[in-house]
Structure 1
Amino acid sequence: MEALWVATAFALGLFATRLGLPPLVGYLGAGFGLHALGLRETDFLHHAAEIGVLLLLFSLGLKLRPKDLLDPRVLGVGGLHLLLFALLALSFAGPFPLALALGLSSTVLVAKLLEDKRELTTYHGRLAIGILVLQDLVAVSLLTLVGGGSVSPWALLLFLFPLLRLGVAWLLERSGHEELLVLYGLGLALLGGETFRQVGLSPELGALLTGTLLSGHAKGTEMAKALWGLKEAFLVAFFLNIGLREGLQGVEAGLVLGLLLLSLLKAPLFFLLFLLFGLRARTAFVAGTYLGNYSEFALIVGVALERVGLLPMGLGSLALLVALSMALSAPLGRYSHTLYRRLEPWLLRLERKGRHPDEEPERLDGATALIVGMGRTGGAVYRVLEAGGERPFGLDADPEKVERHRAKGRRVLYGDTEDPELWERLDLSGVKAVVLALPDLEAKLLAARWLKERGFRGVVAATSFHLEEDPALEAAGVSLLFHPFREAGERLAERVLERLTIMGEVSHGRS
């Protein structure tokens, strides 16, 4: 049975990628296809799906900054959107709890898309995640309201949760770098989820908040990377489970189509609200596009409503609606930057005048080299170029990284390199080299193409993690490629040879 699930998910996931869609679209289709063949959800698949969700949200918590949740744009846009969309959905969905549940966006889908695009820590990524966490808190209250569970008085003890940070961090520092680190992360995710479940709260919220206990810790990022493969494997079960749970029996096609069309209003509504709160058109568009889907929480609320006889549709219809909205939203989110580039002339007309909180630089203050992406590789390039007499300047879409580098006295500013407006306005006079030290291939390609269109004559260097990426990068205008994994070994060999030469000369001198 398990072999059939894996084989079907792989086949349809591969087919989806060949069509330019995220593989999770194929996983959703695999679930419905297996249900049509007579297979059903099992306890094993259900538990695997739940573990995948808990690991995803725990990993998300590792990268979450609590202050992001208190951003007035998160609270204002998130709250207003939820209320306005629920009012729109009332005419289709019947009872207000279900309409409110349809206003929620999928935490699992959006977090996965942002993680795949390496955009979890960007400004628009933090906004989207902040709104999702706010929605999750609403979902917990909603489930309690409709009879999904009652909150235990013991839940009050969770206010002491932050006091566990020191003990959890102490164990993390002693968990090593291999299987103990993975086991510790898995245990924390499951323990956090189960603790919240036992007091009548959402286990997903428990896993996320447990992850925040290690947010900002030096080994938090290492733990997230160690858990990545395990999390991805378990998440396949989540998307399979959606289709296997209900299938397509008794689906009300007209209702599903109407609500699916209604979901297309989610992203534009987010876009307008973000603009109202002073964000640039691009940030508003990209963040809104990611959030334009229905949440898996709608299914959970649907089950609770069916139990009390208040669900106006079959669970199969609701499951198909959620799956279709995910399948529709996933490619739009994945290509949101490209879509914005095509729509930019019209969208910019709606942008409010004045300074925006996500403003980007226009001048580089006499820089001779621009480093795009200030992670470990970008930071190392900055140091070496500065030591070599150049005047480097760094850009990064992660505000936290920018603050960290600026505290060290480096010239680094916020800049989203997939934003065409950045490259149009940025004064590159005097810049001899641009280094694209970005993890995402699409981001590097967009930046290289914009530099080419601008007529930049200097060196364009980029990291390439796979040899098959090289032709696309070279065609986009990259003139110097660096392969970190392969060339790190070559550099190590060179240093060994240098050391052997020195040792040989010393030995020769002694003799």
Structure 2
Amino acid sequence: MTSNLLTDLLIIFGLSIPVVYIFFRLKISPLVGFLIAGILAGPYGLGLIQETENIEVMSEIGVILLLFSIGIEFSLRELLKIKRIVLLGGGLQMSITTVVVFFLLWRLGYSPETAVFMGLIVALSSTAIVLKLLQEKGEIYSAHGRIALGILIFQDIAAVLIIILAPLLAGEAVVGSDLLDLLFRGIGLVLLTLVSARYVVPFVLFHVAKTRNNELFLLSIVVIGLAIAWLTSVAGLSLALGAFLAGLIISESEYAAQALGTVIPFKDMFMSIFFISTGMMLNLGQMSTHLSLILTATVLVLVLKTAVNALTTFFIGFPLHTMLLVGFSLAQVGEFSLVTAQVGFENGIFSETIYQEFLAVTVLSMVLTPFITDLGYYSAVSSQQLSLPGILTTNRYSLQDEGQEKKLENHLIVIGYGVSGKNVGIAAQKVSIPYMVIEINPETVRQEKLNGIGIIYGDAAQKAVLEHAGIKNARSIVITAGNPVSTWQIIEVAKRLNPDIHIIARTHFLDTIDSFYALGADEVISDEFECSIELFSRVLNKYMVPVKEIETMNTQLRADHYRMLRGPEIQRKNVSGLSLDFSDVEIKSVRVEKQSEAAGKTLGNIDLRKKYGVTVLAISRNHRLMYDLKAETELSPDDILLVISPPEQLEVIRELFENDA
């Protein structure tokens, strides 16, 4: 069995690579490539794979991981914001589609039971395909993305009720206690979700994150996702809905971004298997036998659902542009329709011929979805050029009104919140620069959140974590962590997500400077060289080198990636020569004693420069510095004088300022 599974995986992935590559070059969604690869590899194509059970199991995992990741990205707060769309939009879409399909089939001579059931399952759209396309385009949070998601959530719940009501349509009795039992299970699931999101999951993930063990974190996330999905399945609801709830639970914790980044690679792989398995279901022989009927039915379904979806969007309160985007994106028949159709067939609601024809229409509509969605974008753009009545151009219901959070723009991202990161944050706060912190220490994240700092938990080398921090809208990023491997990864991912971002990276090691610049860093700060430059500056200051000249020299040392300091021969100005110019003088401070000879006299009276060759540079009086000194400036007891003096005169002037014996 293991050998057969590996062989099947090798075949489907090996076939997918050239097919998906060709579609990519043709600028067609890779999703279509996977569907075509499935058609070719499946039992109705080239027959490379005859047994599809193992592939179907893995495809279910793909759907679970997709809904899990969508839940993490969305959050409970976002779900509550679209409750009107879920209830009103989903209810209208299901009702109108079911009624229209019922009357069409009833007029064609189908039994009322068959017509009602077909109407219900035709109303369902593909959660997996639609959300995958929205994710690829980054439109989950757009108006049409949130409407589509709300309707799909309602459909997933409705699919469970359809399965329960199937025996009733077949003429069997449905016990009322079954529906009541399902209601109580649903309430229990909602309570479980709220309690887990508020208490259980944050507590567990906090202690797991403290270990800094990536494998343990990954296992914990997977177990949480699968456990909630399994519980919803036991409660009689769909696995996909359970996975979505599990994602919502994790989304309420500070570990959401890291969890999403951990799951995404697995989700992408298993989702490709789902699309391949969907393609395998298309029976080309059945299509050729009833080609005209299947093509006609597919076109009718796509047109009908596009119109109903658009009409539903209009009733919610959105303009024509959004109506078209939602209408075309939800036009297909979905994967849950395949499950419910099988239940209907097993209960004798329709014949095997109708069942096979419905499968062909469903799979074909799913294959056409990327093209239909693109048609929706072209139609939406074209509609904006038309002169339309106000009711079709204005938003009568705004999602913004429901408290959508304002996203950061032109902000700074600080990676690592140790001493350096905190200082960068303090400086940004002082000058009102908005910033977001990414930190891998969960205790630091929890504490700083309580302090009001915008901070998220996660490994900044992961794409999902940087996206959660708003990398695409950020102006600059400061990497304070000194780990070179991690910094390499962060620079590479950050530049890929936002080529214009300004990256400042810190390093402990001299041999990593050039590699950081090569990957795209704009500035690299070396701990060793910066320490050397600071020490060097202090030395030059001691030798009375002018401050402006020290600053110029520091700029030269930092130029060209510290090239002067890293070269075999340091080409710099003769500092030792500068210092020798001042080797015959010293700068000292002396205090004016109360009973000294100088107390109460002016600088002109004691005439230090003429008598001793000593110059007073400044006076500190009551902790205030006096620089603008004149001959009339009087010396007071306890004044501290900063003087420049030949070494041999230091003892003489000390006697002048000390108490008279």
TM surpasses 0.5? yes
Q: Where in structure 1 are there 5+ consecutive unaligned residues?
A: 362-372, 393-407, 409-435, 440-462, 471-479
Structure 2 partner of 1:188 = 224
TM-superposed CA distance for 1:196, in Å, is: 1.9
* In 1: Cα distance, 2:133 partner to 2:394 partner: 31
Q: Tell me if 1:215 matches 2:251.
A: yes
Q: Tell me if 1:77 matches 2:89.
A: yes
- CA deviation digits over 1:89-145, x for unaligned, max 9? 233484312221111111111111111111212332222111110111111111121
Structure 2 partner of 1:171 = 204
Q: Which amino acid aligns with 2:304?
A: L
Q: Contact conserved, 2:281 with 2:363, CA < 8 A, in 1?
A: no
User: CA 1:333/1:173 → structure 2, altered by over 3 Å: closer, same or farther?
Assistant: farther
Q: Which amino acid aligns with 1:333?
A: T
Structure 2 partner of 1:427 = none
* In 2: Cα distance, 1:498 partner to 1:289 partner: 59
Moved more, 76-85 or 251-260: 251-260
TM-superposed CA distance for 1:273, in Å, is: 2.7
Structure 2 partner of 1:42 = 52
TM-superposed CA distance for 1:350, in Å, is: 6.6
Q: Contact conserved, 2:201 with 2:249, CA < 8 A, in 1?
A: yes
Number of aligned residue pairs: give it: 426
User: CA 1:390/1:295 → structure 2, altered by over 3 Å: closer, same or farther?
Assistant: same
TM-superposed CA distance for 1:238, in Å, is: 0.8
Structure 2 partner of 1:400 = none
* In 1: Cα distance, 2:196 partner to 2:432 partner: 46
* In 1: Cα distance, 2:354 partner to 2:36 partner: 19
User: CA 1:98/1:500 → structure 2, altered by over 3 Å: closer, same or farther?
Assistant: farther
Q: Contact conserved, 1:51 with 1:190, CA < 8 A, in 2?
A: no
User: CA 1:160/1:358 → structure 2, altered by over 3 Å: closer, same or farther?
Assistant: closer
| 3-state SS of paired residue (1:146) | helix
TM-superposed CA distance for 1:500, in Å, is: 4.0
- TM norm structure 1: 0.72
Q: Which amino acid aligns with 1:146?
A: A
Structure 2 partner of 1:379 = 411
- CA deviation digits over 1:418-476, x for unaligned, max 9? xxxxxxxxxxxxxxxxxx9748xxxxxxxxxxxxxxxxxxxxxxx99549x98xxxxxx
Structure 2 partner of 1:476 = none
User: CA 1:275/1:465 → structure 2, altered by over 3 Å: closer, same or farther?
Assistant: farther
Pairing partner for 1:32 from 39, 53, 64? 39
Pairing partner for 1:155 from 185, 189, 203? 185
Q: Which amino acid aligns with 1:325?
A: S
* In 2: Cα distance, 1:137 partner to 1:502 partner: 66
TM-superposed CA distance for 1:284, in Å, is: 2.7
Q: Contact conserved, 2:143 with 2:399, CA < 8 A, in 1?
A: no
- CA deviation digits over 1:283-333, x for unaligned, max 9? 333233322221111110111111122235454433332222122222343
Structure 2 partner of 1:226 = 262
TM-superposed CA distance for 1:33, in Å, is: 1.4
* In 1: Cα distance, 2:536 partner to 2:375 partner: 57
Moved more, 144-153 or 30-39: 144-153
* In 2: Cα distance, 1:335 partner to 1:437 partner: 31
* In 1: Cα distance, 2:395 partner to 2:54 partner: 53
| 3-state SS of paired residue (1:133) | helix
Structure 2 partner of 1:426 = none
TM-superposed CA distance for 1:61, in Å, is: 1.4
Q: Contact conserved, 1:243 with 1:319, CA < 8 A, in 2?
A: no
* In 2: Cα distance, 1:299 partner to 1:87 partner: 20
Q: Which amino acid aligns with 2:58?
A: A
Moved more, 27-36 or 297-306: 27-36
* In 2: Cα distance, 1:347 partner to 1:23 partner: 36
Structure 2 partner of 1:425 = none
User: CA 1:350/1:438 → structure 2, altered by over 3 Å: closer, same or farther?
Assistant: farther
Structure 1 partner of 2:73 = 63
* In 1: Cα distance, 2:387 partner to 2:234 partner: 47
- CA deviation digits over 1:5-43, x for unaligned, max 9? 111122222222222221111111121211222223433
Structure 2 partner of 1:88 = 100
Structure 2 partner of 1:499 = 530
User: CA 1:503/1:333 → structure 2, altered by over 3 Å: closer, same or farther?
Assistant: farther
* In 2: Cα distance, 1:216 partner to 1:188 partner: 14
Structure 2 partner of 1:144 = 164
* In 2: Cα distance, 1:155 partner to 1:205 partner: 14
* In 1: Cα distance, 2:411 partner to 2:388 partner: 33
Q: Which amino acid aligns with 1:380?
A: L
User: CA 1:62/1:466 → structure 2, altered by over 3 Å: closer, same or farther?
Assistant: closer
Q: Contact conserved, 1:271 with 1:285, CA < 8 A, in 2?
A: yes
Structure 2 partner of 1:268 = 307
User: CA 1:339/1:82 → structure 2, altered by over 3 Å: closer, same or farther?
Assistant: same
| 3-state SS of paired residue (2:250) | coil
Higher gyration radius (CA): 2
| 3-state SS of paired residue (1:214) | helix
Structure 2 partner of 1:422 = none
* In 1: Cα distance, 2:21 partner to 2:503 partner: 26
Q: Contact conserved, 1:41 with 1:241, CA < 8 A, in 2?
A: no
User: CA 1:498/1:119 → structure 2, altered by over 3 Å: closer, same or farther?
Assistant: farther
- TM norm structure 2: 0.56
* In 1: Cα distance, 2:295 partner to 2:141 partner: 34
Pairing partner for 1:54 from 57, 60, 64? 64
* In 1: Cα distance, 2:279 partner to 2:536 partner: 70
- CA deviation digits over 1:173-212, x for unaligned, max 9? 2333633332222222222222222232211111111221
Q: Which amino acid aligns with 2:359?
A: A
- Greater RCO, CA 8 A, separation 6+: 1
Q: Percent identity?
A: 23
TM-superposed CA distance for 1:227, in Å, is: 0.8
Structure 2 partner of 1:240 = 276
Pairing partner for 1:116 from 136, 159, 173? 136
TM-superposed CA distance for 1:87, in Å, is: 2.4
Q: Tell me if 1:256 matches 2:294.
A: yes
* In 2: Cα distance, 1:504 partner to 1:235 partner: 57
Q: Tell me if 1:205 matches 2:238.
A: no
